[in-house]
Structure 1
Amino acid sequence: MPDPQPKPFSYVPVRVTTSDRVTIGHVRYRMVREYPGEIILETEGDDPRRETFTEQEFSRRHLLGEIIIDEGYHSLHKKIPEVIREIPWRNIKPHKRAKAQYFENLIRAYERYVADKGPLPRTVDELGPKMLNLSMEALEVTRKALAGETVHFKKLISVGHFNKIYANYQQSGRKTAALVSKDQGNKRVYYYDEASLKIWREEADLYAHSQRPKKKDKYEDLVARIRDENAARPDRNKLELCSYKVFRRLINELGAYYVVCKRYSKAVADRKFKFDRGGFGLFRPGERVDIDEKVVDLMLLLQYAHIWETLSDDEKEKARRVRVWVIVAMDIATRYIFGMRFCMSPNAQATIDVIQMMMQDKSETSAYVGALSPWFGRCRPETICTDNGSGLVNEEVADVLVECEIPHIRPNADHPEARGHIESSFRSHRRIVRHYQGRTFKDVLEKAGYDPVKTASLPLDLFEQEYTKAILDVYHNTPHEGLGGETPHNSLIRQTQTHKMRPHIGPDILRHIFGMDDTRTLDGEGLRFLGVPYSSPELRMWMAQDGQVEVPIRVNKRDMASISYLRDGKWYIADNQIGLAPDISVAEWLVVWRRIGGDFKKGSEVALDLMYAGLRDLRESGDAAAYRNPLGLRDLTAEKVREAERALIYRSGIKLIKATQHVASLDPPVVRPSAFIDDDAAGFNDPVAEISAYAEAQETARAQAFPKVGAKPTTTIGSPSPSSRRSQVGSASSLKF
């Protein structure tokens, strides 16, 4: 049995091959020899010279961005990445491809009719009578395109549906992929009371039992239990019985490996899922990282913590308002969590933030949340695997993954060994709550004297901190059955000493890819962002040629020393012109501007020394750690930063000048876990407004579902937001080929 005690972390070796180009400063090298603990590089050119580095020193400088590795630069067959903005056509189900082709041929049949016989308004009266003939013509063309395969439709398309697909087709640039059906079944939201839902989940969990019961038998057990429970309850407080379809869906959510392991044995599950001590057929850390999105229902967490019954009705109602999603990136070989972000609903930006977080140093974040175990894991994955969630599969995420040169796969349903690993880990995350015995999550609810919605930001900050702390201290250091009893923390340390990690992306390239987007006007001083001027020789030449122009820029929210600007489709670097020290975040900068901006007259020149003094005070107080490490619900947005810039900097008219003494760097912030981001922090979004909007949507949905007065209070299965519709129960009939 592996030792569960955490192993000390030293460093993670970086993989470099003879086909890679290594750049240190302005000198380019190529690796010629590699010995245990030692790397020998040789300069490129006619007069080569060699330099030797220890493996630890090489890895340290690479993480700092001093050593840049261009993978496969010297390869004779270097692969050029191809941008794929939609789901590859061959990955779409055959009947959906046929349906999309039919829609396209129907649109072309309509356009041919208009070209031959004149305008045909797309109305029920004008287009409706001709829809049958157009459909038959399109159907015949589709049959021929599919090499004579049998193609038929279940019902005639309506005029309204035709207008919808016609608009989508035109807006997408006439792409067939835009016509692929995204229908996932009935989108209605079903409501049930929490007591009934709890019993359903308990009975569904018993399906994973060594006696191997059938789903029908477990459903009959549920019926009997509900009947027995209702016999002792008053009429106005009866439990509800779900349909067999809903119960079967709850069983299917248990996770494939978990079910096989409980019903048969761990050995059988390992063979079925191609499991070994290194993971699901994966031996190298970073070889594959799974990203998934899950709703963190506070009510459900409280039930798992065994404190739901101890809460009052008012506290329970407060808990129902909070529906937070967590997006997790987990390494399959080690089960280590490389990145995690919270959000109010799944979206592309939250997924991009997780991808960026995987490749960043998170030691300051772990110290900020008060974790005893450092969050040292970081990697540039060789492959990322997701399901087809709307926040995971979209154009924005696809573009970022292509720029990072990370392949994106979505396994087919007939390969259970290639999916569902995070599903089981979320079950472990639920059990993490029990370690706190109700202390942490009860604090989220008990804010006496305050409106729970108006003061929601502080409880949510606390929730984020404690959940992240639990992942680092509990989950990472708990023996994992998928690792042969080894902990994810120790597994990552052990395997990285055997298998070297893929090289990281340099800090400038990371800013080009993940930086916060904005637009600035180029003038004689270059580009200004938050009062700091940025310039470069290329910018000065551009100004001399074209004068003042609008320039797209990207900013690293954690380091304002340099920015990226776009010209002719390429990103370039502009450095600050006042000697600003590195590692100063946008959030810290805005806080200091707010504190000192009103103390000077308009047009005053302020030396950078004063800003440094404010930054030092902020870091020594411990508040800077909160602003530098947002966990997702509170975060900087480009829109809010622009608003703060107009209010704090433009109106003040203050001009920054260089410091009287050069400052190479500032001391790192003092960590104070009790520090939180202020509710009115400049540049940050407002989760209180998001929670209020969500609560209003919930109330509206409840009113529609239960129009009668005195309807029983309920909770939901699934979120009513469009992004989570795929998890709701129900089915729908549609046109099939």
Structure 2
Amino acid sequence: MTSRFRLSETDCITINGADHLLQSQDDKGVVLWRIDDSAVRLSFTHEQLVGLLASPDIRFKRDHFSCGRAALRLRCDHQYLNTLPADTREDLLWKAAYCNAFLDAETRGTVCRTIDSIRSAMPRLSALVDSRETEWQVLDRKNLAGVTVRRRLPPSAWTLRNWTRRFEACGLSPLAFLRKRRSVLTYTRKFAAEADALLAECIAGYLSRNKPTVQEIVRDTHSRFKEENRRRIGVGLPSFQIPSGRTIHRRIRKFDPFHVVAHREGIDAAKRKFSFYENGIPASYPLERIEMDEWQVDVASLFGNSGALDALESSDRARFEIGRRWIYVAIDCATRCIVAFRLVANPSAEGAVRALELIALDKTAIAQAAGCESPWDFWGGIGSLVTDQGSAFASVEFRTAVTDLGATYEAPPAGVPKLRSTIERIFGTFGQQLAPMLTGRTFSNPSERGDYPSEQWAALTDDELAEIFINFIVDIYHNSPHAGLKGETPANAWKRLKAEQGATPPPDSNTRRVVFGIPLTRKLGRHGVLVHGISYNSPELQRALLTGQAREIQIRVDPHDLTHISVCLHAHWHPAEAVSKAVWGLSLSEWRETVRDLRTKHRDDAVLTEDMVQRARNRIRAIDQGARELRRVQPPTLTAADLERCERELFLGLRIKPGADPSDEELPQVDGLLGDAIGDQPASPPHDESQTPKPRDAKPWKLSDD
């Protein structure tokens, strides 16, 4: 099936350092034009565009040329929240939480933008924000007695109104609060009828698809009035009194809200915003709106993976730890396709972020590993993400990831299920259609359960439970007629809408690593950056080394692909490529098994050839490809601590060096713990260590990653 992603006129794609804008798109592909040379046109099919976004030197910036993003760039130099210190991130998200709470209340009509109205609503807003902040601060804490919780004093009504204006002007991004800008004091005057006509013409510019801010309209209006006054003075006419910014603001507020949204965002956006909804907020194209939630599975299962338990009888397997797992599910509202699924031990911010990552990945390999017949190629970027107010979704880590992906985050108030009706219904589908097929069902309430021995009949392990869910989702649910789609199947709805309108483009590979990669810190040396025995380099790292800056740098590692890492230099993230091609395309688990296999078979060799690495990697990759894909949706997750421990146990001293001349008789000298180096020369023959004299200046082993 043709993969089509929906580009916007305000999106920016940087190719070879040059920015490009969308000129046109259809079901065959897209045409881009270069900003600094309008005569240059580039065309790509949708398949080529997908490959283009996966390239390490391509940048895709959603809404880069929109008014909100432009205003945001004037205020701060940061592109990602996770580049900032933790306390700064928390402060920005706290301010954003107040603004979102105020905007939600304003949408419901319980507050307006007068100081008295905001002041009267402040206790309710503060209670809501404090409740959410408390939830993420005590996340993963079982015993809450005596836990210290930090609470901040609420802003004043004036401050909150200023925050909200700045928040809206910068596209609802928390980064809008990084810098403050002093407002210009204005005053009100009365002016003539002719001036009133000119003023009406000026403020009509606010009803534009370019979405100018009120401040821009004020500046344009003042410029027009000054220009007109110079003309009138030249012909002997009295000048007009220049209207104040407050007068212009008041005139703009008199516009009909529906007309404002229709002119600035389109008629479809106006219908969505002002229409009544009982079946959830509608979406018109794939990935425009995604709802995500957590759910405790209505099945008692064994906590662990199959393998060692396979040979046991069901009665023997039931002696192991038994309980109910949780799942994270994300569903596309336009097509009802499930775009992310993850099985977790307990709700957590880490589990929610890992489920979020699956939205931007093609999950067909996971479906094939589970034995599905249909593809699971429903993936792309996120337009708006809607969750409940659970602690995992309220965490700093999750909100940071959503913000850095360029998505709009919504957390509707509790007790209004129709605002998230799509995700609520899918859990009902799981309980009604899937759970009855499984042994160990727990039922939704004790009266339905009766005397059914759920725990005694528990037999499914984590990987079996994940495989069952994936088969139900991909082969049954996606291919069954859906009442919300008027009888069309979710899979057909995705194909139709994606072919007609396109889907939201996924993040580029560098952004995906920055947002979802495992954070580590490394020293910069002449070899570049050394991670797991692999040297990474890039032009940016070379310049940083020459200038003597950034000796200790932050990096992000994608455990599923070690070809590139991302490095942070001067608050900007850049890709760095593995020097040795032997590790290109390998996952961390494959590389770990490759190193372990090589060290076991060639413990006495000082040099390992790249051919040997390639043969070992082929053997490892052929062993359990399916099992590795299924691990993406199961509870175990690699963390930064896991990677550090892995390096201490296995990768210390391992380094892949550039190839050497095979004719060299003398093997290269190698630093490190085990003296392992991977080059292009053949392995040295076995020798008798007892007859080899030991050097006098042999140095003790040292634990170093450089």
- The amino acid that maps onto 1:401 is V
The yes-or-no answer on 1:421 pairing with 2:412 is: no
In the alignment, the residues of structure 2 paired with residue 593 and residue 367 of structure 1 have an alpha-carbon distance, to the nearest angstrom, of 27
Partner in structure 1 of residue 35 of structure 2? 44
Partner in structure 2 of residue 288 of structure 1? 289
Q: Which residue of 12, 15, 21 corresponds with 1:24? A: 15
CA drift of 1:579 comes to 2.4
Partner in structure 1 of residue 678 of structure 2? 657
The yes-or-no answer on 1:365 pairing with 2:356 is: no
In the alignment, the residues of structure 1 paired with residue 147 and residue 596 of structure 2 have an alpha-carbon distance, to the nearest angstrom, of 47
Decide whether aligned partners of structure 1 residues 409 and 316 sit closer, same or farther in structure 2, where only a CA change above 3 A counts.
same
Decide whether aligned partners of structure 1 residues 146 and 440 sit closer, same or farther in structure 2, where only a CA change above 3 A counts.
closer
- The amino acid that maps onto 1:494 is R
Q: Deviations over 1:429-449 (max 9, x none)?
A: 1244368565999xxxxxxxx
Other structure's SS at 1:573 match: strand
In the alignment, the residues of structure 2 paired with residue 149 and residue 403 of structure 1 have an alpha-carbon distance, to the nearest angstrom, of 29
Q: Which residue of 98, 104, 107 corresponds with 1:89? A: 98
- Structure 2 unaligned spans of 5+: 82-91, 106-115, 125-143, 156-274, 303-312, 443-454, 654-672, 683-706
In the alignment, the residues of structure 1 paired with residue 122 and residue 24 of structure 2 have an alpha-carbon distance, to the nearest angstrom, of 59
In the alignment, the residues of structure 2 paired with residue 500 and residue 541 of structure 1 have an alpha-carbon distance, to the nearest angstrom, of 40
The normalised TM-score by structure 1 is 0.57
The yes-or-no answer on 1:71 pairing with 2:92 is: no
Decide whether aligned partners of structure 1 residues 584 and 145 sit closer, same or farther in structure 2, where only a CA change above 3 A counts.
closer
CA drift of 1:564 comes to 1.2
The yes-or-no answer on 1:502 pairing with 2:484 is: no
In the alignment, the residues of structure 2 paired with residue 493 and residue 461 of structure 1 have an alpha-carbon distance, to the nearest angstrom, of 29
Equivalences for residues 393-404 of structure 1 within 5 A: 393-404=394-405
CA drift of 1:165 comes to 13
In the alignment, the residues of structure 1 paired with residue 509 and residue 425 of structure 2 have an alpha-carbon distance, to the nearest angstrom, of 34
Other structure's SS at 1:553 match: strand
Q: Deviations over 1:618-662 (max 9, x none)?
A: 22233475268432312322222222221112166244435579x
In the alignment, the residues of structure 2 paired with residue 540 and residue 60 of structure 1 have an alpha-carbon distance, to the nearest angstrom, of 27
CA drift of 1:602 comes to 7.7
Check whether the contact 2:342–2:355 (CA below 8 A) recurs between aligned residues: yes
In the alignment, the residues of structure 2 paired with residue 286 and residue 57 of structure 1 have an alpha-carbon distance, to the nearest angstrom, of 20
Other structure's SS at 1:497 match: helix
Partner in structure 2 of residue 193 of structure 1? none
- The amino acid that maps onto 1:488 is P
Partner in structure 2 of residue 140 of structure 1? none
Equivalences for residues 204-283 of structure 1 within 5 A: 273-275=277-279, 280-283=281-284
Decide whether aligned partners of structure 1 residues 295 and 390 sit closer, same or farther in structure 2, where only a CA change above 3 A counts.
same
Equivalences for residues 564-575 of structure 1 within 5 A: 564-575=566-577
Larger mean Cα displacement after TM superposition, 471-480 or 44-53: 44-53
Equivalences for residues 110-259 of structure 1 within 5 A: 174-176=152-154
Other structure's SS at 1:491 match: helix
Partner in structure 2 of residue 586 of structure 1? 588
Other structure's SS at 2:562 match: strand
Partner in structure 2 of residue 187 of structure 1? none
What is the aligned-residue identity percentage? 23
Partner in structure 1 of residue 525 of structure 2? 523
In the alignment, the residues of structure 2 paired with residue 341 and residue 561 of structure 1 have an alpha-carbon distance, to the nearest angstrom, of 25
Partner in structure 2 of residue 344 of structure 1? 345
Q: Which residue of 2, 6, 22 corresponds with 1:15? A: 6
Equivalences for residues 628-647 of structure 1 within 5 A: 629-647=631-649
Check whether the contact 2:439–2:459 (CA below 8 A) recurs between aligned residues: no
Partner in structure 2 of residue 53 of structure 1? 44
Check whether the contact 1:588–1:628 (CA below 8 A) recurs between aligned residues: no
In the alignment, the residues of structure 2 paired with residue 405 and residue 492 of structure 1 have an alpha-carbon distance, to the nearest angstrom, of 22
Q: Which residue of 556, 559, 569 corresponds with 2:558? A: 556
Partner in structure 2 of residue 486 of structure 1? 488
CA drift of 1:525 comes to 1.2
In the alignment, the residues of structure 2 paired with residue 361 and residue 331 of structure 1 have an alpha-carbon distance, to the nearest angstrom, of 15
In the alignment, the residues of structure 2 paired with residue 606 and residue 490 of structure 1 have an alpha-carbon distance, to the nearest angstrom, of 51
CA drift of 1:366 comes to 0.8
The normalised TM-score by structure 2 is 0.59
In the alignment, the residues of structure 2 paired with residue 337 and residue 528 of structure 1 have an alpha-carbon distance, to the nearest angstrom, of 38
- The amino acid that maps onto 2:43 is T
Equivalences for residues 703-722 of structure 1 within 5 A: none
- The amino acid that maps onto 1:657 is I
CA drift of 1:554 comes to 0.7
Decide whether aligned partners of structure 1 residues 657 and 594 sit closer, same or farther in structure 2, where only a CA change above 3 A counts.
closer
Decide whether aligned partners of structure 1 residues 435 and 60 sit closer, same or farther in structure 2, where only a CA change above 3 A counts.
farther
Check whether the contact 1:512–1:571 (CA below 8 A) recurs between aligned residues: yes
Higher relative contact order (CA 8 A, sep 6+): 1
Q: Deviations over 1:154-205 (max 9, x none)?
A: xxxxxxxxxx999957x56x5549xxxxxxxxxxxxxxxxxxxxxxxxxxxx
CA drift of 1:549 comes to 3.6
Aligned length: 473
Q: Deviations over 1:96-119 (max 9, x none)?
A: 9xxxxxxxxxxxxxxxxxxxxxxx
